[in-house]
Structure 1
Amino acid sequence: ALVPELNMKPPSQPELFDFEGVSMVHYFTDNWEKVKNFQARPDDIIIATYPKAGTTWVSYILDLLYFGKDDPECQSSQPIYMRVPFLESCFKVIPSGTELADNLTTSPLLIKTHLPVQLVPKSFWEQNSKIVYVARNAKDNAVSYFHFDRMNMAQPAPGDWNTFLQKFMEGKNVFGPWYDHVNGWWEKKQTYSNLIYLFYEDLVEDTGHEVERLCSFLGLSTSVEEREKITKGVQFDAMKQNKMTNYSTIPVMDFKTSPFMRKGKVGDWKSNFTVAQNEQFDEVYKQKMKNTTVKFRTEISYLSSGGCTRVLAKKGYI
């Protein structure tokens, strides 16, 4: 069967520990020797993000760009996590990320990772692999990560929102501080030409434009019609209903608590942050981000029709 039997009981939630200077859980370190020594191929493409920053979205876009036309059956029968292996994952209920990657026969190989830049296996740099990094503004990222930790038994229990937010500001999350992650990859972009740095907010605001940018970066001559079809197929509501992209077939996630794909909005943080929390967050943010040139938007202007436009965008930087 293309979809593995996933009827095992979910495990108890793991504890956080320090791994090479980064907060981790054992699911991402149990297979570390194979991750560290993974042999990349020249045409491998990495999709790298901090958790809950649009990983599945961009994975699906690339999967459709490369394989949607030639293998439509796969799109409807094989979950995205089998088609785009999560490199460092070792969950037992499915093959490890390295095993999935080694056994895939598709070319190019699409691989996702949440690793901070300094932990990426060196073979990807040696092979000059293309890397698509996606970053999301810290406030929305924190809210999304909180709800994810509430429903994901493979992550530590988050506590209440205020407890989680304090931990987020301290960088005590799986895969380490948001600040270090987005800054580390931003710095890498300055010296590594095969890396495109996308913003979640731009993807929400004008998906078609970002798909066009991806095609240009990847050297794909995709027709306007194909791009428009893909752009329509990867809208949030369509993906949320799609069992091959919404992770509903994974047993470690409790969909009664929260869906894996919740809202996908920019600016939803306003419904979660108190005034005091927002002021504290802004102070911490200013300190942590004072030495970087990367800028984020915490809101965009949505049109009443449900779309949005680059022209009407508010440049609401933190």
Structure 2
Amino acid sequence: MENTELPPRPLLFDFEGVSMVHHFTDNWEKVQNFQARPDDILIATYPKAGTTWISYILDLLYFGQSAPERQTSIPIYERVPFLESYFHVIPPGTELADKLTTSPRLIKTHLPVQLVPKSFWEQNCRVVYVARNAKDNVVSYFHFDRMNKAHPEPGDWSHFLQRFMDGKMVFGPWYDHVTGWWEKKQTHSKTHYMFYEDMIEDLGRDLDRLCSFLGLSPSVEEKTRVMEGTQFDKMKSNSMTNYSSLPVMDFKISPFMRKGQVGDWKHHFTVTQNEKFDEHYQKNMSNPNLQFRTVV
């Protein structure tokens, strides 16, 4: 009989001071030597903070009219390559990015700011960063790791929450990630820092701010089309944006896009966990200027 079993789940290890799995380090030399172009747009997020949402928004803003066939024939992970990914079931992210014929190229990364290939800074590329509050982020990450065979086994919720607080997550601690990129914004003016909660609250307003940053002036009709196309339920049922074609994702356990809400953490945290987390947050959130909302 043919062996159809997926390889075992990867183990977490320390890489350049950040917890990683081999899927994101096996191609490291090519990642570090990746040649960015001045018009590239780097989409950066901590995992499960709205990455696919902002990727699709940008894709529709730039190519929704000029290349509508892209939306129905090429999955989002090929339109917006995941730079450091090395999964074997699809080409490496660096290769997919090099093959992009679009201008600008939209490229995504989950790397903490200090590990981003230096050519993005040398070429003065625009960066769009999306941050999500820690409580909803950890809940989403938990369900993601349950179904994503390319990440370590998550264990139960309380164990996972503790691991999140300890920073032993793929791509490192949430605190370092959101703060590192926030501080980069102070020195790299071409960084647009967005909040998931703001996008949920008023996508039209955040779309206007994003377009202003990008120097785009879409018509009312174009904006409406982007907002309608990127509604959560539409993306969740769209095989080009919901990752259902990737074999490492087990949709029988949980969908890649689960709820897309603010405040779902209340259904997961116990009172004790919430108190402990709040205390931990106060100690570890080092930048008082970086404020998150856990409800909208």
TM-score of the alignment, normalized to the shorter chain, above 0.5: yes
- Residue matched to 1:165: 161
Residue aligned with 1:247, SS: coil
Q: How does 1:186-225 map to 2 (within 5 A)?
A: 186-225=182-221
Task: Say yes or no: does 1:19 pair with 2:29.
Answer: no
Q: Equivalent of 2:117, from 121, 125, 132? A: 121
Distance in 2, matches of 1:183 and 1:41, equals: 26
Q: How many residues of Structure 1 are paired with residues of Structure 2 in the alignment? A: 293
Residue 66 of structure 1 deviates from its aligned partner by 0.4
Residue 230 of structure 1 deviates from its aligned partner by 0.7
- Residue matched to 2:246: 250
Task: Say yes or no: does 1:60 pair with 2:56.
Answer: yes
Distance in 1, matches of 2:57 and 2:118, equals: 26
Q: Please tell me whether the aligned partners of residues 183 and 292 of structure 1 are also in contact (alpha carbons under 8 angstroms).
A: no
- Residue matched to 1:85: 81
Query: What are the superposed Cα offsets for residues 1-30 of structure 1, whole Å, 9 maximum, x if unpaired?
Result: xxxxxxx75322100000000000000000
Query: What are the superposed Cα offsets for residues 165-196 of structure 1, whole Å, 9 maximum, x if unpaired?
Result: 00000000000000000000000111110000
Distance in 2, matches of 1:84 and 1:17, equals: 27
Q: TM-score, normalised by structure 1?
A: 0.91
The runs of 5 or more residues in structure 2 that have no matched partner are: none
- Residue 73 of structure 1 aligns with an amino acid whose one-letter code is E
Query: What are the superposed Cα offsets for residues 203-232 of structure 1, whole Å, 9 maximum, x if unpaired?
Result: 111111111111110001211111011101
Q: Please tell me whether the aligned partners of residues 11 and 252 of structure 1 are also in contact (alpha carbons under 8 angstroms).
A: no
- Residue matched to 1:303: none
- Residue 180 of structure 1 aligns with an amino acid whose one-letter code is D
Query: What are the superposed Cα offsets for residues 213-256 of structure 1, whole Å, 9 maximum, x if unpaired?
Result: 11110001211111011101101001000000000000000000
- Residue matched to 1:134: 130
- Residue matched to 1:262: 258
Residue 146 of structure 1 deviates from its aligned partner by 0.2
The runs of 5 or more residues in structure 1 that have no matched partner are: 1-7, 301-318
Moved over 2 A (4+): 8-11
- Residue matched to 2:277: 281
C-alpha RMSD over aligned residues: 0.8
Distance in 1, matches of 2:102 and 2:12, equals: 35
Q: Please tell me whether the aligned partners of residues 189 and 195 of structure 1 are also in contact (alpha carbons under 8 angstroms).
A: yes
- Residue matched to 2:139: 143
Q: Please tell me whether the aligned partners of residues 11 and 154 of structure 1 are also in contact (alpha carbons under 8 angstroms).
A: no
Residue 74 of structure 1 deviates from its aligned partner by 1.1
Q: Please tell me whether the aligned partners of residues 38 and 121 of structure 1 are also in contact (alpha carbons under 8 angstroms).
A: yes
Distance in 2, matches of 1:264 and 1:141, equals: 10
Q: Please tell me whether the aligned partners of residues 50 and 178 of structure 1 are also in contact (alpha carbons under 8 angstroms).
A: yes
Residue aligned with 1:43, SS: coil
Residue aligned with 1:47, SS: strand
- Residue matched to 1:76: 72
Distance in 1, matches of 2:6 and 2:237, equals: 23
- Residue 29 of structure 1 aligns with an amino acid whose one-letter code is T
- Residue matched to 2:46: 50
What percent identity do the matched residue pairs reach? 74
Task: Say yes or no: does 1:226 pair with 2:222.
Answer: yes
